[in-house]
Structure 1
Amino acid sequence: MAVYFHEEDLPEGVLAPGPVAVDTETMGLITPRDRLCVVQISDGKGDEHLIRFGVNSAYDAPNLKAVLADPERVKIYHYARFDLAAIQHYLGVMAAPVFCTKIASKLTRTYTDRHGLKNLVSELLGKEISKQQQSSDWGAPVLNDAQREYAASDVRYLHQLRDVFVERLARENRTHIAQACFDFLPARALLDLAGWPEHDIFSHE
């Protein structure tokens, strides 16, 4: 298992075919204001790739974009809504189709309100990850070892979590509704970018 660090694009041919786990690190939570700094990606075979974008980046990353835009590759996220919006806004691609472990958790782990990635990895996989670097300066000229390990850990376990949730969704007869939610997430991300981040357009008000 290794963590590979790249500047501005993913090298060609480093990922095996099939689903990829994806995450992003940004300067904050307001997508148009807070620039995309890092995209993490893993094919689930044991390595993680971190692609860092500089402060004046043109986000011209053809290899990464080709993987993210590939309609044959499922992209596994934890809280896909945010990552989809960031990738669309800065890289100009809609990184779908989607499997979101946070939504899958909310549909199957109805016995708890703890749906963070750390909670899922601990309960379902018996492993521990640190969230200490979650709020750190991802736009710094140099990312330290702790930041790199944190970023890598955010995609390290997503394939395993997906396998667990595929079984649980089937067990609870919620596979169909989960897939409908996943299919809607690109539209939800576009609504966020278009100015409806909080207002529920499906509500009566």
Structure 2
Amino acid sequence: MGTTLFLPQATIHLHAGDLPDGLDLGPVVAVDTETMGLDPRRDRLCLVQLSAGDGSAHCVQIRPARLGGRGADCPNLKTLLADAGVVKLFHFARFDLGILRQELGVRVAPVRCTKIASKLVRTYTERHGLKDLCRELLGVDISKQQQSSDWGAAELSPEQLAYAASDVLHLHALWQRLDGLLRREGRLELAEGCFGFLPDRAALDLLGYDEPDIFSH
């Protein structure tokens, strides 16, 4: 069960509860989440967006059983997220990995994070948001107007879906640019070490070790 939204620059598929059987998104998948808030221990997961980098996005709406949904009963989505043979691209992976582990019980790996990559090589700026990266590295302006909307609504608007999709549609191109910069500056190996640690960093956050951070003095 699902619907498809056709936009001038993208095709968005909305799925209720899980990805469809047999869907192959390739060896590198861009992933993002929308939630009711920014505390993964309190705020529920509402939407998981994925893209193969082909101009289309698949959005899985997650609704708890008390609201008529399937909750964490999404085997196809969880299999993909945990598949060691599929690289998952994120922007600010630390948050997404935490909410996916908290709500779906899955350790997502291996991962790449464009925010971490940006901070390692774009040291000439403090602007590492997705909107900033898309504008500077790709010449693309994305809208953040729907960022604070109600993602727990039973019916998501076309504007919400377009916003959600924009967060994954450009990650492959961004990673290609950032990967080149990491190699140029000799920091790819360091970045890979950071990416490998991110699932455990997210687990520490869920245990309450975000503040105080155990790595601080």
Query: Which of the five TM-score ranges fits, normalised by the shorter chain?
Result: over 0.9
Structure 1 residue matching 2:53: 3-state secondary structure:
coil
- Does 2:16 align with 1:16? no
Deviations 1:19-71 (A, max 9, x none): 10000000001112100000000111221000001243431001111110000
Percent of aligned pairs sharing the same letter? 56
Q: Which amino acid aligns with 1:48?
A: A
Shift of 1:198: 2.6
Equivalent residue number for residue 31 of structure 1:
40
For 1:92-126, what per-residue CA distance to the aligned partner results, in whole angstroms no more than 9, with x for missing partners? 11111010000000001111000000000010000
Q: In structure 1, how many angstroms separate the alpha carbons of the residues matched to 2:113 and 2:25?
A: 21
2:55 and 2:24 map into 1 onto residues whose CA distance is 11
Distance in 1, Cα, partners of 2:71 & 2:59: 17
Distance in 2 separating the partners of 1:58 and 1:120 = 33
Partner Cα separation in structure 1 for residue 117 and residue 74 of structure 2 = 30
Higher strand share: 2
Secondary structure of 2:134's aligned partner: helix
How many Å separate the matches in 1 of 2:185 and 2:171? 20
Q: Confirm or deny: 8 A CA contact 2:64 2:71 kept in the other structure.
A: no
Q: Which residue of 2 aligns with 1:75?
A: 88
Structure 2 residue aligned with 1:142 = 155
TM-score (norm 1): 0.97
Alpha-carbon offset, residue 82 of structure 1: 0.3
Name the counterpart of 1:169: 182
- Correspondent of 2:63 among 44, 51, 54: 54
Q: Cα distance, 1:203 vs. partner?
A: 2.2
Kindly indicate whether residue 133 of structure 2 is the aligned counterpart of residue 120 of structure 1: yes
Matched position secondary structure for 2:55: coil
Specify which of 76, 92, 95 is matched with residue 105 of structure 2: 92
Separation in 2 of the partners of 1:160 and 1:122?
A: 12
Q: Secondary structure at the match of 1:13?
A: coil
C-alpha distance in 2, partners of 1:16/1:22? Answer: 11
Q: How many residues align?
A: 204
Shift of 1:185: 0.3
User: Over the residues paired in the alignment, what is the CA RMSD in angstroms?
Assistant: 1.0
Cα distance, 1:182 vs. partner?
0.4
Structure 1: gaps (5+ residues)? none
1:17 Cα offset (Å): 2.0
1:129, CA displacement in angstroms? 0.4
Q: Which residue of 1 aligns with 2:12?
A: 3
Aligned to 2:7: none
Residues 25 and 36 of structure 1 are in contact (CA less than 8 Å); yes or no, is this contact kept in structure 2?
yes
Q: Which residue is 1:159 aligned to?
A: 172
Q: Secondary structure at the match of 1:134?
A: coil
Which sits farther off after the overlay, 48-57 or 80-89?
48-57
Distance, in Å, in 2 between the alignment partners of 1:118 and 1:15 is: 28
| 2-structure distance, mates of 1:101, 1:59 | 27
Paired residues of 1:133 and 1:146 also in contact (CA < 8 A): yes
